Amino acid sequence: MLSLVLPKGSLEKATMQLFDAADLTVQRASDRDYRASIDDPRIDRVRVLRPQEIPTYLEQGLFDLGITGRDWITETDSDVVSLGELKYSKATSNPVRVIMAVPDGAPWQRVSDLPEGVRISTEFPAMTKRFLDKHGVKAKVVPSYGATEAKVPDIVDVIVDLTETGSSLRKNGLRILDTLLTSYTELVANREAYEDTEKRAAMEDIALLLQGVIRARGNVLLKLNVAQADLKNVLDIMPSMSSPTVTSLAGGESNAVESVVAKRGVNTLIPALKAAGAHDILEIPIAKIVD
């Protein structure tokens, strides 16, 4: 029923992993296979394409639903409907930023310091021109097709590029002057398809599954048993999403407690729970959390 377009490149691996974890496994013969399928009654066609082109194809109605970065939606100024941010990038769950950067030793401290005729290389010429206009800077914007950091200081004076971990900027001796955009990966739809009741329901189902996986990341389920006398001590230190579930065990003075907790911190939490009187402690991975 829905046609779906997924990003090739930086987001490809993380997107395939997300769909797999959402029980929407993308089937394809190899990573060179750009026509894929998903064994799901709501999805009838899957294509893998460059994220730069995805907003335009969605706007034109060539696909109903897709995944791309907010950076390319902004750059192409496409009229699409967002079904929400999906919090993952190439390497982390943090957003990427479109930044303006200059060599460490450059004399400029802010955008308005840039002299007339300054040369700027970028994969985002439209966004860069809008930003320069806002700051009243007249520059020569040169389109880049990648490896943008390598072009300063000899080919251009300034770059506008993406940064995620900051490692490319550090390796190339660059300093951030300003941020043009903070960009998450997004689930986006064609406007007309989104207005169709059945298609919208299918899109929302898919969004729910994908968000459920993202929400579960970094969390685990802890289950334990504790005697009635120690219950309060255990509950005092047990974190939870809302409040821990407490069930009394058959025939006695003992309780089972379960709670969703952040994985980070479990290394200190489990010994603390044990010291507070908990026993039979289980740590269980969670596939999805749907609010």
Ligand X SMILES: Nc1ncnc2c1ncn2[C@@H]1O[C@H](COP(=O)(O)OP(=O)(O)OP(=O)(O)O)[C@@H](O)[C@H]1O
Ligand Y SMILES: O=P(O)(O)OC[C@H]1O[C@H](OP(=O)(O)OP(=O)(O)O)[C@H](O)[C@@H]1O
Binding-site ranges for ligand X (CB under 6 A):
9-11, 50-52, 68-69, 71-72, 89-91, 96, 146, 162, 164, 183
Written as six digits, the tokens of 133 are 């206009």
Nearer to ligand Y by C-beta: 65 or 98?
98
Where are the extended beta strands (E) located within the chain?
2-7, 26-27, 35-38, 43-49, 65-69, 81-86, 96-103, 118-122, 139-143, 158-163, 174-183, 185-189, 219-227, 245-248, 254-262, 278-285
| Residue facing ligand Y at closest CB distance | 146
User: How near is the Cβ of 54 to ligand X at its closest, in Å?
Assistant: 9
Q: How far is the CB of 84 from ligand X (least distance, A)?
A: 16
Return the one option of ligand Y, ligand X, none that residue 161 interacts with (CB less than 5 to 8 A, by type). Answer: ligand Y
Which residue from 121, 123, 99 is spatially nearest to 176, judged by alpha carbons?
A: 99
- Closest to ligand Y by CB, 131 vs 194, is 131
List the single partner that 176 binds among ligand X, ligand Y, none, CB under 5 to 8 Å by kind. none
Find the shortest distance in angstroms from Cβ 164 to ligand X: 3
DSSP state at residue 19: H
Q: Kindly state the smallest distance separating residue 89's Cβ from ligand X, in Å.
A: 3
Given ligand Y, ligand X, none, residue 68, with its beta carbon under 5 to 8 Å by kind, binds: ligand X
Closer Cβ to ligand X, 40 or 75, answer by number = 75
Rounded to 5 degrees, φ, ψ at 289 are -125, 115
- Residues of this chain that interact with ligand Y (CB under 6 A) are 10, 91, 146-149, 161-168
Partner from ligand Y, ligand X, none contacting 50, C-beta within 5 to 8 A by type: ligand X
| Residue of 108, 37, 98, 87 whose CA lies nearest to 216 | 87
**Nearer Cβ to ligand Y (13/274):** 13
Which of ligand X, ligand Y, none is residue 173 near (CB under 5 to 8 Å by kind)?
Answer: none
- CB under 5 to 8 A by kind: which of ligand Y, ligand X, none does 56 bind? none
CB of 11 to ligand X, least distance (A): 4
E strands, 108-157, where?
118-122, 139-143
* CB of 107 or CB of 146, closer to ligand X: 146
**Rounded CA gap, 65 and 6, in Å?**
9
Dist CA 3 CA 63 (whole Å)? 5
| Beta carbon nearer to ligand X, 146 or 251 | 146
Phi-psi region of 258 (alpha: psi -120 to 50; beta: other; left: phi over 0): beta
Instruction: Give the CA dihedral 70, 71, 74, 77, nearest 10 degrees.
Output: -100
Look at residue 55 and give its three-state secondary structure: helix
